[in-house]
Amino acid sequence: MQNILEVQDLVKHYRQVCAVDGISFSLAEGMCFGLLGPNGAGKTTTIEIMEGILKPDRGQILYRGRPIDSEFKKRAGIQFQNTSLPDHLTVSETIRLFQSFYPEPRPFNEIVEICSLSDILSRDNKKLSGGQRQRLLLAIAIVPQPDLVFLDEPTTGLDPQARRNFWDLIRRIQTEGATIVLTTHYMDEAHMLCDQIGIMDHGKMLEIDAPQAMLDRHFEGVLVRIPFDEPKRIDFPLPEGTVVRNDAIELTSTRLDETVRRLITLGLSLDGLSVHKPTLEDLFIKLTGNTLRA
């Protein structure tokens, strides 16, 4: 299958800050791609360059093999991180306003149905909840019947139920054939929604792959964690591969019974021991030493 988008060697500086530091990847048509990383990682800068809104200092974006042009802008639906909605308009008026900007907008009823807006059509934009607002912003993004949809942190600040509803919406749009590019700092969201993710930190792309493939490559077995007040003061040898953190020790295990027996033999107190399947959060910590929320 042809790649719908090629991202080639992007670099972007803001004065001394290198916001994006030489990143390249490609997107297959129809996939959901997630840029994952903590605040300041360079996600917004990257996605805005991909949208054609920001000019990179170096590198380029190819849309279906050609540099992005006005045709691309007609085919892209964009939901910005901090969009202000027009004041004194209802949801329905807002959709109609954005429809008037395009020669062949998606039909009104279809937009309303896809984004579940029928109950709030006459509500003033200013009176929307966080989840309703995000649904309206997504509705605006799909007005031009885009084959590429860009969403910058679409679920930040939403409560868990609103986030789940929004995930359903994104899947629905993907099912209809659109390629989705989103940014998030929620690792569970990236894992649930995305066919491929790119993990970013300090402007660099650390890893690109399908979420589970990425985890399988980095972790074998389960993660065992034992909290400690001062783990650095442990003065006997720990099993190979044990990572000593500020407040705990961590190790992976493919044979949990053996690992636990071993830890008991060492005389360690197993109070508070927890076991879980490695997540993207664990992977991010492994790659950078930091948490995604930091």
Ligand X SMILES: Nc1ncnc2c1ncn2[C@@H]1O[C@H](COP(=O)(O)OP(=O)(O)O)[C@@H](O)[C@H]1O
Provide the b/e sequence for 89-116 (b: ≥16 CB within 10 Å).
Answer: eebbebbeebbeeeeebbeeeebbebbb
Residue 128 touches which member of Mg ion, ligand X, none, C-beta under 5-8 Å by kind? none
Going through the chain in order, the beta strands assigned E by DSSP cover: 3-14, 17-28, 32-36, 58-63, 66-67, 76-79, 148-152, 179-184, 196-201, 204-209, 222-227, 243-244, 248-253, 274-276
Contacts to Mg ion from residues 36-95, by CB under 5 A: 43-44
Closer CB to Mg ion, 44 or 253, in the complex: 44
Phi/psi for 25 (5° steps) reads -170, 170
Closer CB to Mg ion, 38 or 239, in the complex: 38
Smallest separation, CB 11 to Mg ion (Å) = 18
| Dihedral (Cα; 273, 276, 279, 283), 10-degree rounding | 50
- Based on DSSP, count helices (H) and strands (E) in the chain, helices before strands: 10, 14
Closer CB to ligand X, 17 or 256, in the complex: 17
Closer CB to ligand X, 48 or 250, in the complex: 48
Smallest separation, CB 18 to Mg ion (Å) = 16
# of chain residues touching Mg ion (CB under 5 A): 2
Closer CB to ligand X, 94 or 184, in the complex: 184
Token pair 């300041």 in the structure block, residue = 40
Residue 227 touches which member of ligand X, Mg ion, none, C-beta under 5-8 Å by kind? none
Residue 269 touches which member of Mg ion, ligand X, none, C-beta under 5-8 Å by kind? none
Smallest separation, CB 283 to ligand X (Å) = 17
Closer CB to ligand X, 44 or 134, in the complex: 44
Which of 138, 126, 128 has its CA nearest to residue 95?
Answer: 138
Residues in contact with ligand X by the rule CB under 6 A: 14, 17, 19, 37, 39-45
Cα separation, 183 vs 173, whole angstroms: 16
Cα separation, 27 vs 179, whole angstroms: 8
Cα separation, 206 vs 284, whole angstroms: 9
Smallest separation, CB 286 to Mg ion (Å) = 23
Smallest separation, CB 44 to Mg ion (Å) = 3
Site string for Mg ion, 235-274 (x = CB under 5 A): ----------------------------------------
Give the footprint of Mg ion on this chain (CB under 5 A): 43-44
